Structure 1
Amino acid sequence: MRRADRLFLLVNALRGRRRAVPARVLADDLGVSLRTVYRDVADLQRSGIPIEGEPGVGYMLRKGADLPPLAFDAEELEALIVGIRFARAFAGGRLGDASMRALLKIEAVVPPEVYARARRIAILAPGGRGERSAAFSASLDRFNLAIAERSLLRVRYVRAGDEETTRVIEPLCVLFWGGSWTLAGWCRLRGDFRQFRLDRIRECAPTGETYAPDPTRGFDALMRRFDVQACEQAQQALGAAMGGEWAT
């Protein structure tokens, strides 16, 4: 990690904290030694960054202090531009428009030669066009809004084999698997996490109710489920490759 990046992350780690952050915590977060944290803090203090505290006590930014101007190198800008291209193509109208506004702000503050190099990155996301694309974009906006507001959704869904079912779900996230989109959430009918392919959702409307946060069936719990499933699938694949002796 470049020293400039490390100093920026150090200041960012202190911003908004109401209590002093121990140097050991900062060292663990940044992956550096205590001695490096002490040296970096001293350098930042000498450069005028209002960091208060001392070794053994902890550090915090003086109230009202802000970060120095942010700078991106060319590779970081390339990553941002690729992300913005995909957001514009696939993340719905609201986030697509927001991504373009972000791109204009980035262009206004970075050196022209660095920005020009980053724009030449040959990773594109053309996206769809026409009425179908506009309708899909609007549906993504509705799903994102429901997730943000924790709105219960009533979904009429067609499963494989043309079996139709109606579910009430607590939407948690929308996932793109490269070939298909799914809406993931807690299904009240099944009492478990379920994914619903967007192209098989025939109707979707809010019930007018909201659901309360629940750590046992919220987003973090869903991500843990995905991690477990991915591990199990990897073990099964390894078991098949080894003649089944490692299968679970």
Structure 2
Amino acid sequence: MRRADRLFQIIQVLRRTRKPLTADAIAAELETSKRTIYRDIATLMAQRVPIRGEAGMGYILERGFDMPPLMLTPDEIEAAVLGAQWVMGHADPALAKAAQDLIAKIADTVPERLRPFVLEPASRARPDFHGAADSMDMVQMRAHIHAGKKVRLLYRDEAGRNSERIVWPIAVGYLEAVRLLAAWCELRKDFRSFRTDRAIEAHFLDEKYPERRETLRSKWRKTLSWERPQDT
């Protein structure tokens, strides 16, 4: 690996984590020596890249540091295209169109030598979602998730029982055959996952839920919500 490429990869490795990484960990990932990482970190610091830390304690990249967004490796390009292909076949129409536009933008901006990784990728995602049909407005649901607003669901469980819930939506997950809405349920006073194909109606309310969205998401992550049983 060229030194310039390695310096860029060190920044990428640090960018991925919020915890300090030791030179040993960075060296293992980049398949080089710890001494080389120490030297490269010193070079980056001298170039005013905001890296904090010291030998033996670990290093962390301060937030707010930015680099040209399209300095992509071939593997990163294939990963982005594969993810966009998956979104095109699984997500709501607005996200599917955005994914299509993303691929076109990457193809237009990467160097000519990297364009085959966009237009002729080695990996491909299944083009369509053969899951349970549902009528939930995913565009509006995503808007409410970002806005931190409540949704009133008329929901039918697996036994055919109907119930009405006020939920605080957190995220939409795509499993092999169904979509799941992760949310805080005011009725259960706990996090629940709702199959979107079992939602009879969804009313999008103007009322915001009282907790900060970031705080709610942090609590939800600790519950491993997608692995929890669906609400019954």
**1:67 paired residue number:** 67
Measure the CA separation in 1 of the matches of 2:24 and 2:92: 34
**1:190 paired residue number:** 188
Measure the CA separation in 2 of the matches of 1:92 and 1:116: 28
Identify which of 155, 175, 180 aligns with 2:178: 180
> Is structure 2 residue 35 aligned with structure 1 residue 40?
no
Deviation at 1:149, TM superposition (A): 0.5
Measure the CA separation in 2 of the matches of 1:54 and 1:146: 37
**1:203 paired residue number:** 201
Q: Which has the higher contact order (CA 8 A, sep 6+)?
A: 2
Moved more, 24-33 or 93-102: 24-33
Give the 3 Å change call, closer, same or farther, for CA 30–212 of structure 1 in structure 2: farther
More helix by share: 1
Identify which of 143, 146, 152 aligns with 2:144: 146
Deviation at 1:166, TM superposition (A): 0.2
CA contact (8 A) 2:171 2:182 kept: yes
Measure the CA separation in 2 of the matches of 1:116 and 1:99: 18
Moved more, 90-99 or 79-88: 90-99
CA contact (8 A) 2:191 2:225 kept: no
TM (normalized to structure 1)? 0.67
**1:222 paired residue number:** 220
Measure the CA separation in 1 of the matches of 2:226 and 2:123: 35
Measure the CA separation in 1 of the matches of 2:155 and 2:226: 26
- In structure 1, stretches of 5+ residues that fail to align are 16-23, 231-248
Structure 2: which amino acid aligns with 1:105? K
> Is structure 2 residue 83 aligned with structure 1 residue 83?
yes
Deviation at 1:29, TM superposition (A): 10
Which aligned pairs between 1:7-156 and structure 2 lie closer than 5 A?
Answer: 7-11=7-11, 25=20, 27=22, 31-32=26-27, 35-44=35-44, 49-51=47-49, 67=67, 70-120=70-120, 121-127=122-128, 139-156=137-154
Structure 1: which amino acid aligns with 2:119? R
Give the 3 Å change call, closer, same or farther, for CA 215–148 of structure 1 in structure 2: closer
TM (normalized to structure 2)? 0.71
CA contact (8 A) 1:75 1:118 kept: no
Identify which of 145, 161, 164 aligns with 1:163: 161
Deviation at 1:221, TM superposition (A): 2.3
Measure the CA separation in 2 of the matches of 1:42 and 1:100: 41
CA contact (8 A) 1:92 1:141 kept: yes
CA contact (8 A) 1:74 1:115 kept: no
Aligned residues: 214
Give the 3 Å change call, closer, same or farther, for CA 67–210 of structure 1 in structure 2: same
CA contact (8 A) 2:148 2:213 kept: no
CA contact (8 A) 1:10 1:26 kept: no
- Computing the radius of gyration over CA atoms, which structure comes out larger, 1 or 2? 1
CA contact (8 A) 1:167 1:187 kept: yes
CA contact (8 A) 1:12 1:67 kept: no
Give the 3 Å change call, closer, same or farther, for CA 102–31 of structure 1 in structure 2: same
- Give me the CA root mean square deviation: 4.2
Q: Name the % identity.
A: 29
Measure the CA separation in 2 of the matches of 1:188 and 1:86: 33
